[in-house]
Amino acid sequence: MVVPLGVWLIGWHRAVSVLLIASVITGGGLMAIRERALSHSFIAPYLDKKISLLLVASVRTDPKLGQPKQMIGYLKPASTTALVSAISIEVGGKVYKAHLPFRLTTASRISFLPGTVISARGILYSTSEKRVAALFAQRGVITVIHGAGAVGRLTGQIRSDFRQVARSVGGESGALIPGLVLGDTSLESHDFVNNMLSAGLTHLTAVSGENFAILAAFMFWFLQWFVKSFRIRLLISALVLIAFIFLVRPSPSVLRATVMVSVLMIAKARGVKSSAVPALGLAIAVLILIDPFEAIDPGFALSIAATAGILLLSQPIARWIFGYLHREKLAQLLAIPISANVLCTPLAIAISGQFSFMSLPSNLLVEPAVGPITIVGFVAALLSPVWPGVAYLVALTQKPFAAEIVWVAHTCAKVPVIHLSKGFLGAGIGLLVTMCGWIAIRWRSWGSH
């Protein structure tokens, strides 16, 4: 709070400084309340005591199979984890009603849909994961009390059928398509995910806000040929996008894009000229008010940084590129991944401690392939439960685009990365490099004038 307080004291933009102070107090207060609620709940005396208890909980995320771990003298089998929300906990003959989030881990291969209510015996352990109260290690049999609702079953069926279509497409290309379209990464191998990370393409291993924005733009463009009313097109687009959220699961980047696109749609429907930057700010505020732990989520931070980079820097960078290439469309196309990477680089270095020279070239190479896979893959996913054969043919048309992304990932992953310090030092180095590049661009712009 030192910076906004200093700004307020010297009288420079006092209104902005007051808003910043209020935001810091609100966000910090919400985080403190949530932290205390999780760390000082009634389950605290039972953590790490190896006391068996019965948990009744609702599954919140799709179970994810991890990787085997090399321990001293043996290989620990892979475990499956999922985020669950407790409904009741029975321990020592007492039943407690609870609404605490837990991280469920089990050696069994489970595939419950979000919304399924289960009961299981297990042990509670403390965990470094901030957004959960404890780690629940399942011991015994997991019993299904009741399955997911109608929406959960429908979306689960679409995801399952599209996964089978992707298997038929085959190879790493087929595995990438459901991940990029629906966020289903179950077919992606560990080595492939690592290569995508090294190449700076990890955001393509699962659905992101970019895919959401592409689909929103496509829906609004497509409906103009059938629906003349502007507001009805907005309404239909909104309904389709809401269904898309349930289908891909509400990840931080998807939620951020949802709020942002919703604000822009409402503004257009009311005839208000809206700026995307305030919409992004509103999206950040709403999501952090709902879940303060989004503020420390790396994926959420990178998603916000990429969007802000595109909104704030794409036009200056496009003008800079146009000065060299003299091709307006090409300059605008290249400016999008460059502007996103500019603000993401300091954060990526702070998180991973690595800097890859191939991150920007790889994103430039795969950018033309992301749009077709997102749009056509979504159509194939909707067709998969009804006409799996047609869905397979539609998905097969996207295999060359997916193969391009796979080839870029494998090729760029072979280039060594620079290892830097994590945290503030790494972020400072990345920010310094970014500022030098920005000054160079502005210098070119000033020189032209």
Best CA proximity match to 215, nearest among 173, 179, 181, 250: 181
Backbone angles phi, psi at 309, to 5 degrees: -60, -45
The answer to whether residues 255 and 345 belong to one domain is yes
Domain that holds residue 126: 44-148
Band of residue 264 on the pLDDT scale cut at 50, 70, 90: low
The answer to whether residues 50 and 93 belong to one domain is yes
State the pLDDT at residue 249.
80
Burial 421-439 (b: 16+ CB within 10 A, else e): eeeeebbebbbeebeeeee
The answer to whether residues 29 and 137 belong to one domain is no
Say which residue, 434 or 305, is predicted with more confidence: 305
The answer to whether residues 200 and 116 belong to one domain is no
Nearest-angstrom CA–CA distance, 174 and 396 = 8
The answer to whether residues 252 and 374 belong to one domain is yes
Across the chain, mean pLDDT equals 81
State the pLDDT at residue 84.
92
Whether residue 117 is predicted with pLDDT greater than 90 in this model: the reply is yes
The answer to whether residues 203 and 348 belong to one domain is yes
The answer to whether residues 359 and 419 belong to one domain is yes
- SS3 per residue for the chain: CHHHHHHHHCCCCHHHHHHHHHHHHHHHHHHHHHHHHHHCCCCHHHCCCCCCEEEEEEECCCCEECCCEEECCEEECCCEEEEEEEEEEEECCEEEECCCEEEEEECCCCCCCCCCEEEEEEEEECCCCCCCCEEEEECCCCEEEECCCHHHHHHHHHHHHHHHHHHHHCHHHHHHHHHHHHCCCCCCCHHHHHHHHHCCCHHHCCCCHHHHHHHHHHHHHHHCCCCCCHHHHHHHHHHHHHHHHHHHCCCHHHHHHHHHHHHHHHHHHCCCCCCHHHHHHHHHHHHHHHCHHHHHCHHHHHHHHHHHHHHHHHHHHHHHHHHHHCCHHHHHHHHHHHHHHHHHHHHHHHHHCEECCCHHHHHHHHHHHHHHHHHHHHHHHHHCCCCHHHHHHHHHCCHHHHHHHHHHHHHHHCCCCEECCCHHHHHHHHHHHHHHHHHHHHHHHHHHC
The answer to whether residues 286 and 424 belong to one domain is yes
- Residue 43: count of CB within 10 angstroms of its CB: 20
- Sign of torsion, CA 105 106 111 113? negative
Domain boundary among 126, 148, 170: 148
Say which residue, 138 or 340, is predicted with more confidence: 138
Q: What is the mean pLDDT of residues 394-409?
A: 91
Query: What tens digit of pLDDT does each residue of 57-105 get?
Result: 999 888 888 777 766 666 667 788 999 999 999 988 888 888 888 999 9
Chain mean position to CA 449: 41
Q: What is the pTM (predicted TM-score) of this model? A: 0.77
Region at 191 (left for phi over 0; alpha for psi -120 to 50; beta for the rest): alpha
Q: What is the mean pLDDT of residues 405-416?
A: 88
Domain boundary among 148, 167, 192: 148
Q: What is the mean pLDDT of residues 362-384?
A: 87
Share of the chain above pLDDT 70, in %: 89
Token pair belonging to 42: 């009634």
Query: What tens digit of pLDDT does each residue of 158-206 get?
Result: 988 999 999 999 888 899 998 888 888 888 888 888 888 778 777 777 6
One-letter amino acid at 123 equals I
Backbone angles phi, psi at 187, to 5 degrees: -90, -10
- Residue 337: count of CB within 10 angstroms of its CB: 25
State the pLDDT at residue 296.
79
Domain boundary among 148, 167, 197: 148
Token pair belonging to 55: 């948990």
Q: Say how many domains are in the chain.
A: 3
Highest mean pLDDT among 63-67, 345-349, 383-387: 383-387
The answer to whether residues 388 and 337 belong to one domain is yes
Q: Are 208 and 258 in contact (CB under 8 A)?
A: no
The answer to whether residues 339 and 280 belong to one domain is yes
Q: Are 254 and 220 in contact (CB under 8 A)?
A: no
Token pair belonging to 349: 């270095």
Query: Which residue matches tokens 């907005």?
Result: 234
Query: What tens digit of pLDDT does each residue of 283-316 get?
Result: 788 888 888 878 877 777 877 887 788 778 888 8
State the pLDDT at residue 332.
78
Rg (CA), the chain: 24
The answer to whether residues 220 and 94 belong to one domain is no
The answer to whether residues 140 and 161 belong to one domain is no
Nearest-angstrom CA–CA distance, 441 and 449 = 13
Whether residue 444 is predicted with pLDDT greater than 60 in this model: the reply is no
Share of the chain above pLDDT 90, in %: 15
Nearest-angstrom CA–CA distance, 267 and 264 = 5
Q: What is the mean pLDDT of residues 370-396?
A: 90
Nearest-angstrom CA–CA distance, 280 and 17 = 19
